[in-house]
Structure 1
């Protein structure tokens, strides 16, 4: 007992020293290296350790750490969001949030006599583990060696085929080791590809959210205060402050790293009580990557909320108590309501009566209707989006596997719904067979409720969304439905692999089959360009950055607007944030805040830009932009990857007042 008390005293002393040193470093030293070390000890050692020991006391050490990290980050989100909504989220609020959380940790240590466990013998080193780690390091080296700041449509345009060979081999050795920590490393390798390869950044939406996070860090507030996204924004700013790491990096790695740490551990331990062969479950669990990689390889509020939602789904399979359930529901709401409402329904299915199901079945459409009434995000009823759902089934059996490897890949892609349904049926059969009908009934009720919401939502047309993005919210809800079914899906995979495993040489068949499917899934789950599928979503490039800097320098303090594509607009957000807005009030448009670049795609400036690139540059279109904004100076930007770029450059050159050339990658034309 004296030894235990001595260890507890040592831990308490170290914790107090870490807390005080962090404050000293934040206010005086401002050392990035010391800040990083101390923050890692505080978050992963104390916060994750103590919360895990308190709320997952009878679980394994790995589960405690993962669960503690989820709850710790959730508490940061809750307290930080309260400061944001009640006051401001400035440096003082960040310090107070840090002290409150540290105080809660210290209270738990003293009140409940708990201390975190520390894992011993994490690895039993054998040749399979060593080979996997070598392949893992080699794969990361290839990614970093091939990272690029050029405009690309797919990471596979920069990454060589050798990476897929190494990934396939690494997966085989992972499956042979059946090690949960290596599984987390494999999830990390799968999720981190876009973060590494896209040197400037992947996509468009992440740039918007990072710009908002920088603005929050600078001002301590965002006006008007939004009722969504703040969970992510405050978390990123908080972590950036205490880790002494730039917001840009924290934002990029948040979801990929958090998903890699938490999903393998929490999901595996939540499902292992339903199976007999724990090693085979770990192999089956790898196939979760097929479903979730597109959601978790980049950070936006929707992806972070989806991650917390998936964790909640797994925890409910593990009989988490109702207080932690509602705590996570609140956290998900603070990040993104489109995931928060399904989380509310998920929590309510087990606790409420029949009336709840009726309300829950229309809850998401009601949310959008309410949002339309209190904001400029207007909606109307339309059958168009509902007809878009048929697009999911258009390419079924379009390609046959015996023509080429690509035909096999696309046979899987275009028939994934059929494969998913078959695996779900196997999972349902397995749950019935193993006597888990009650759990199955709850899952089915939730599925029906969400499907009704999906169908009703598909009748909405969103006026602030461009035509080809109208189905975006329906698509997101569909992804959430897939997450809800993830445990049943994994148990179905387990059941199928168990049957294969019982065959002669079945163990080897399982390993090769899973490794092959994961490698094919890796290719499909990231943007890809090949003979079968084209992709026009070019990334933000170095030339985009230089172009927006040149425009900003040339424009100086003058009022101007820029007609450019989404990548160049995203570059402007990274470099200059939300710099200029114009108020538009005429018979056609009532826009209180029109951004000076054509974003979002519903912006009337974007429509003018499309006319310029599709129909050809014209002074008529330039004048349309002037009348719309009341601004005399207009910039028009054309990228070299545009289909008729040379033709459009020649046409613009004839009518423009000035021209800039960015390394023959981007042409900027000024109209005064």
Structure 2
């Protein structure tokens, strides 16, 4: 009774402060605190409902995850029914306390009581040595993050490592080394999970912190869409996907007054650091039944491809939701019943609403769990087997079929090379090999030795774990292997048979490549099993060997940190550049020169991303006024303009504008890092009506073509 009274009081206080901040104070800082209370309080209570038998450290993350999934689903439904307005978000927040109070009637432990127990119980007192190590970890994390803020990049670079000081890596290595020492101690688990979240956040937040103007290309499009939705509540035409991410961003923006750009920038890095360590430990605790060993398996997170989480995109968020779904399903794979499949289904639906490339495999995974032979009707064994085989076969082709269906609906062009539907061609396309090269740089050689072989290492650990424990494991674990097999077939079909002709040549393999991380995610439980076996055996080995392993793990973690971002070194040169201040200045200069008249601009992806970010969406029919997408006709004209910047080529761009009589201005923008930029610039000077440059030393040249007939 007292617990319920406390929850009611806390809920009323939360709602009172929420209403006051929304309509009176309008403080983003207070909004951030309210969001933390919202997730902490109601996520905790919901976690107790979903996983009644779990201890606190094992259940709170599921509550937060399910709560966010419900918010995401509610926001998406509102969008498709009408729009995502501030009033819709207010309603979601106001309904949360009574709904959670109703569901949590039988809860026995409150968040306040748990906090009191942590504070007063002697078992939770931190020894002096652990306190010292914790302080050093926090100090190193602060130094690392402050150095990132002190070295922010606003000019065009190929890699963030070109501008960051070299001492970042020793700091990160020491941070990982001290943290792994705590992991191998196996105690103070709640504290260690928080510290591991700090390590994970520093790993994936470098781009978010260091590039204040934005990073990548897709993120600019999504931010512009979110800004549009924040202002108007809807966008036309309504897309079939991505709305899940937009709903979460608008939830934080409308409900807690946080800026759209800030929320979008840190959404995936923050949620990864907040949820993944606890989710991984949750799965490991069920697999190993040994808490201390479960903590050491957290090092396995750095066997996963983390590069997809360094910037917020729907694909990255959906990948995170898929990974959390797999880890949350471990108790069921072990033939336990919490959390129930219906709860997992909610998060599976949420994943589908974020991005179908991750959402469809997530839903098929749940379908395979629901159709487990042990749950089937024993009176129809033949039918059960046929249904099971049909589901597996469908899983192997679902993504290629979805792309073909989307192309038919959206009018996109996708080619099909039927001759490639050949298993021999698929085997050739696997391209599985062990990387081992030498550039006579020991540190860099080690980084690439680990970084380019880490996927194979993860598959090897998972495979050995399956082989060693195949007789002891529940038959339900086979679903993980079925999903890996299905994704592999999808990958081979998409990489050899489908031709994404609406994309530029070097981007056509991107969709198939997105399936590779998903394969490793479905092997995560088996990786945990394999690592727990290794670390359990390590505990009985000599101290020198254990220390050596900790140092090696820290070195591998630092390697993963480096490999998570685009690079320019002796092994690899990234071909892309980030959006710079000069790109933004060029966009505004073009807008000023146009003086309100309609125009087309021919520019590279970075400048086009800056245009979307600063000016929003502007179309002539279906033609965007900058060359996006890169597989579109306008981008082809941009490439032609780079080959031969003539007035005839400029006129060819205007011919793409439907009824372009009112569009007579064209601007051709050339970045100084572009291939053969000096030749292009000098040639364009002789054909353009006028030209200018922006940025120190002429970083972006702007050529104006007045093509009035």
**Structure 1 length-normalised TM:** 0.92
Aligned match for 1:543, one of 576, 579, 582: 582
Gaps of 5+ in 1: 584-592
Aligned match for 1:55, one of 39, 50, 65: 50
Q: 2:481: which partner in 1?
A: 444
Contact kept? 1:656, 1:669, Cα under 8 Å: yes
Aligned match for 1:507, one of 525, 546, 570: 546
Give, in angstroms, the shift of residue 343 of structure 1: 0.8
Q: 1:165: which partner in 2?
A: 170
User: Are 2:377 and 1:381 aligned?
Assistant: no
Aligned match for 1:180, one of 193, 196, 199: 193
Structure 1 residues 482, 143: CA separation in 2 closer, same or farther (over 3 Å shift)?
A: same
C-alpha distance in 1 between matches for 2:2 and 2:458: 54
Name whichever of 296-305 and 30-39 sits farther off: 30-39
Aligned match for 1:273, one of 280, 286, 292: 286
User: Are 2:365 and 1:365 aligned?
Assistant: no
Gaps of 5+ in 2: 184-191, 333-338, 372-387
Q: 2:145: which partner in 1?
A: 140
Q: 1:665: which partner in 2?
A: 699
Structure 1 residues 552, 298: CA separation in 2 closer, same or farther (over 3 Å shift)?
A: same
C-alpha distance in 1 between matches for 2:648 and 2:300: 54
Q: 1:327: which partner in 2?
A: 346
Alignment of 1:637-652 (within 5 A): 637-652=669-684
User: Are 2:16 and 1:27 aligned?
Assistant: no
Give, in angstroms, the shift of residue 546 of structure 1: 0.9
User: Are 2:229 and 1:216 aligned?
Assistant: yes
Deviations 1:384-437 (A, max 9, x none): 89979967738744514876332333333444444333222222134337x115
Structure 1 residues 462, 389: CA separation in 2 closer, same or farther (over 3 Å shift)?
A: farther
Q: 1:97: which partner in 2?
A: 92
C-alpha distance in 1 between matches for 2:318 and 2:105: 33
Q: 2:517: which partner in 1?
A: 479
Structure 1 residues 404, 281: CA separation in 2 closer, same or farther (over 3 Å shift)?
A: same
C-alpha distance in 2 between matches for 1:155 and 1:466: 25
Give, in angstroms, the shift of residue 95 of structure 1: 1.7
Report the count of equivalent residues: 655
Name whichever of 404-413 and 212-221 sits farther off: 404-413
Contact kept? 2:76, 2:244, Cα under 8 Å: yes
C-alpha distance in 1 between matches for 2:172 and 2:509: 34
Alignment of 1:303-314 (within 5 A): 303-314=316-327
* Structure 2 SS opposite 1:286: helix
Alignment of 1:556-595 (within 5 A): 556-578=595-617, 580-583=618-621, 593-595=622-624
* Structure 2 SS opposite 1:362: helix
Contact kept? 2:429, 2:492, Cα under 8 Å: no
Aligned match for 1:260, one of 258, 270, 273: 273
Q: 1:150: which partner in 2?
A: 155
Alignment of 1:241-252 (within 5 A): 241-252=254-265
Deviations 1:540-596 (A, max 9, x none): 111111111111122132110110011111111111111x2113xxxxxxxxx1100
Alignment of 1:398-547 (within 5 A): 399-400=437-438, 404-432=442-470, 435-458=472-495, 459-504=497-542, 505-547=544-586
C-alpha distance in 2 between matches for 1:130 and 1:113: 34
Contact kept? 1:75, 1:101, Cα under 8 Å: no
* Structure 2 SS opposite 1:265: helix
C-alpha distance in 2 between matches for 1:338 and 1:432: 30
C-alpha distance in 2 between matches for 1:64 and 1:307: 18
C-alpha distance in 1 between matches for 2:9 and 2:322: 36
Structure 1 residues 369, 52: CA separation in 2 closer, same or farther (over 3 Å shift)?
A: same
Q: 2:646: which partner in 1?
A: 618
Q: CA RMSD in A?
A: 2.3
Contact kept? 1:158, 1:197, Cα under 8 Å: no
* Structure 2 SS opposite 1:273: helix
Give, in angstroms, the shift of residue 67 of structure 1: 1.2
Deviations 1:236-264 (A, max 9, x none): 01111122111001001111110111111
Contact kept? 1:430, 1:491, Cα under 8 Å: no
* Structure 1 SS opposite 2:277: helix
* Structure 2 SS opposite 1:527: coil
Q: 2:186: which partner in 1?
A: none
C-alpha distance in 2 between matches for 1:479 and 1:500: 29
Q: 1:586: which partner in 2?
A: none
Deviations 1:115-146 (A, max 9, x none): 43644247725222121111111111111111
Contact kept? 1:395, 1:414, Cα under 8 Å: no
Contact kept? 1:636, 1:669, Cα under 8 Å: yes
C-alpha distance in 1 between matches for 2:678 and 2:71: 51
Name whichever of 283-292 and 298-307 sits farther off: 283-292
Give, in angstroms, the shift of residue 277 of structure 1: 5.2
